[in-house]
Amino acid sequence: MKYYDILIKNGIILKMDAANSVIENGYIGISGDTISTVGSGYPETSKAKKEIDAQGGIILPGLINAHTHAAMTLFRGLADDLPLMEWLNHYIFPVESRMDADFVYTGSLLACAEMIMSGTTCFCDMYLFEESAARAAKEASMRAIVGEVLYDFDSPNYGSIENGLAYTESLIRNWQDDPLVSIAVEPHSLFTCSPELLTAANNLATKFGIPLVLHLAETMAELDEVKKRYGHSPVKHLESLGILGPHLIADHCVHLSDKDIDVLAENGVSSVHNPESNMKLASGIAPVPEMIAKKIAVGLGTDGCASNNNLDLLAEMDTAAKLHKINTMDTTVMDSLTVMRMATIEGAKALGMEREIGSLETGKKADIIIVDINKPHLTPLYNPLSHLVYAARGNDVSCSIINGTLVMEERQLLTMDLQDVMDRARVKASDVRKWIAES
């Protein structure tokens, strides 16, 4: 007799392992925080404290949102469809200059609720007051990599950059060995960070053996600015500073030359694709098929809600697949398997977490979701991968397990009071309206 803490049964299992294995009628046994068994049929000689019947639904690894700014849920829909600099100078910057740790905590809780309810079990965050983001993720029982954004100019959180590096190091020490929350060093970009800051951030990341995360080659304006200052492309600039390496996670990577892609691949750099944000801000289309062809690990991200409006990674997959088909005029590009892997195991690789999460394999952490397919828009079912990428949406996720903890069951959040979180967010929105009126 085998004993499990949780047993999930009666579902189509997409393992997202190296063989892309599918089990038509499978079960998963969870012991503590770990997947202990993945099998076919029903384990007659097993008992569990908790049994979950997937009712024929799709069981898959929890989705990984590899780049976001969680607290910007509180800016959702704020002054859309404006020129970038007007949007920043008249709305975002005035608000960010007045927000505090509780603002970020509330916005991050709201983000965690939205992500759990749409199938995301792990996210990589960059923003201000990130101790509060870490605390929100921990309280929501979400897996997260968080990092304080670092700039050359003063921050509303830590003040001068010297304090920013010290704040980051305190984050690293405070969250060391936490089972859910880990820390990255996160300089904002090449045009907001001097070579000295980039080098100092890289030294801090390598000192502790943690990721370095930054925005790279997101806009043409960035390319022009970096070339004007340093005489070459953003990728070449990082190469000249000795910063490229497997520890570097480069977000966006929209404007890359073939040579840039080769250099990133040669140095083991990973990338995160944010198609909806790049479309909304008219930044461009990242050369994702070309990066994947060069064996670069490419994850998928939503970016923040100010430049996307939602954190639904299932919707992001649909956009990613279709965007590159029309961009290349090739229907075979970015097929459903490729995109599904970006949101799971390739996303885990991009974050350096593939040994822990991203696939449903014995010994990995139990980050698992179930998608309910007993719905008109998901009937009939011929190909579960196709359904997930092209037909499913976040509200089709019925159950979420993170690190062996059941965090949502039958669409009900179990780790937070959703109504209270939304009420608190509405109060913060009143503050935002006031700050904008006063700016």
**DSSP string of 141-186, one letter each residue:** T-EEEEEEEE-SS-BTTTBSHHHHHHHHHHHHHHTTT-SSEEE-BE
Confidence bin at 425 (pLDDT 50/70/90): very high
CB neighbour burial string for 265-289, b if at least 16 within 10 angstroms, e if fewer: bebebbbbbbbbbbebbebbbbbbb
Distance of alpha carbon 56 from alpha carbon 42, whole angstroms: 13
Please, are residues 268 and 35 in contact by the beta-carbon 8 Å criterion? no
**Domain-terminating residue out of 325, 350, 375:** 350
Nearest CA to 286 out of 311, 308, 319 is that of 319
Confidence bin at 15 (pLDDT 50/70/90): very high
**CA geometry: angle 270, 15, 412, nearest 5 deg:** 95
Q: Which two tokens stand for residue 339?
A: 């995109």
Does residue 70 share a domain with residue 136? yes
Q: Which two tokens stand for residue 384?
A: 């579960």
Q: Is the pLDDT of residue 379 over 80?
A: yes
Range of the domain at 391: 2-60+365-411
Q: What percent of the chain has pLDDT over 90?
A: 94
Does residue 194 share a domain with residue 247? yes
Which value, in Å, is the radius of gyration of the alpha carbons in the chain?
A: 21
Q: What local confidence, expressed as pLDDT, does residue 115 receive?
A: 98
Name every residue whose Cβ is closer than 8 Å to that of residue 187 and which is 6 or more positions away in sequence.
149, 150, 151, 193, 197, 198, 201, 212, 214
3-state SS, residue 395? helix
Tell me the per-residue pLDDT of 296-354, one tens digit each, with 9 for 90 and over: 999 999 999 999 999 999 999 999 999 999 999 999 999 999 999 999 999 999 999 99
Angle between helices 195-208 and 161-174 (to 10 degrees): 10
3-state SS, residue 52? strand
Does residue 276 share a domain with residue 133? yes
Residue 211 belongs to a domain: yes
Confidence bin at 289 (pLDDT 50/70/90): very high
- Region 129-140: mean pLDDT is 98
Tell me the per-residue pLDDT of 199-212, one tens digit each, with 9 for 90 and over: 999 999 999 999 99
Q: What H or E segment, with its residue span, contains residue 300?
A: strand 298-300
Does residue 83 share a domain with residue 43? no
Q: Exposed, middle or buried, 40 (CB in 10 Å: 0-12/13-18/19+)?
A: exposed
Nearest CA to 300 out of 239, 358, 378 is that of 358
The rounded Cα 310 to chain-centroid distance in angstroms is: 12
Please, are residues 247 and 214 in contact by the beta-carbon 8 Å criterion? no
Does residue 190 share a domain with residue 143? yes
User: Pairing relation of β-strands 186-187 and 143-150?
Assistant: parallel
Higher pLDDT pick, 92 / 128: 128
User: Pairing relation of β-strands 181-183 and 143-150?
Assistant: parallel
Residue 154 belongs to a domain: yes
How many structural domains does the chain have? 2
Does residue 136 share a domain with residue 29? no
Does residue 78 share a domain with residue 45? no
| HSE-up (13 A, CA, CB side) for residue 319 | 22
- The CATH number that applies at residue 405 is 2.30.40.10
Q: What local confidence, expressed as pLDDT, does residue 27 receive?
A: 97
Q: What local confidence, expressed as pLDDT, does residue 83 receive?
A: 78
Residue 417 belongs to a domain: no
Residue 433 belongs to a domain: no
**Helix ranges, 296-394 (H):** 313-328, 336-342, 345-350, 384-390
Residue 419 belongs to a domain: no
Q: What local confidence, expressed as pLDDT, does residue 79 receive?
A: 84
Q: What local confidence, expressed as pLDDT, does residue 42 receive?
A: 83
Distance of alpha carbon 56 from alpha carbon 65, whole angstroms: 26
Confidence bin at 378 (pLDDT 50/70/90): very high
Residue 164 belongs to a domain: yes
Q: Is the pLDDT of residue 84 over 80?
A: no
Confidence bin at 82 (pLDDT 50/70/90): confident
Q: Is the pLDDT of residue 13 over 90?
A: yes
Distance of alpha carbon 190 from alpha carbon 237, whole angstroms: 8
Does residue 74 share a domain with residue 56? no
Distance of alpha carbon 349 from alpha carbon 356, whole angstroms: 10
Q: What local confidence, expressed as pLDDT, does residue 90 receive?
A: 84
**Domain-terminating residue out of 350, 375, 402:** 350
Tell me the per-residue pLDDT of 345-368, one tens digit each, with 9 for 90 and over: 999 999 999 999 999 999 999 999
Q: Which residue type does 339 have?
A: V
Long-range own/partner contacts, residues 240-245 (CB < 8 A, 24 or more apart): 241/195, 241/198, 241/199, 241/202, 242/199, 242/202, 243/198, 243/199, 243/202, 243/212, 244/269, 245/269
Residue 439 belongs to a domain: no
- Region 405-426: mean pLDDT is 98
Residue 420 belongs to a domain: no
Q: Is the pLDDT of residue 91 over 90?
A: no
Does residue 316 share a domain with residue 178? yes
The rounded Cα 305 to chain-centroid distance in angstroms is: 12
- The CATH number that applies at residue 281 is 3.20.20.140
Does residue 50 share a domain with residue 191? no
Confidence bin at 43 (pLDDT 50/70/90): confident
Task: State the chain's mean pLDDT as an integer.
Answer: 96
Q: Which two tokens stand for residue 221?
A: 């304006």
- Region 6-17: mean pLDDT is 98
Confidence bin at 93 (pLDDT 50/70/90): confident
Q: Is the pLDDT of residue 1 over 90?
A: no
Q: Is the pLDDT of residue 234 over 90?
A: yes
Backbone angles phi, psi at 166, to 5 degrees: -65, -40
Does residue 390 share a domain with residue 325? no
Confidence bin at 92 (pLDDT 50/70/90): confident
Does residue 319 share a domain with residue 401? no
Confidence bin at 239 (pLDDT 50/70/90): very high
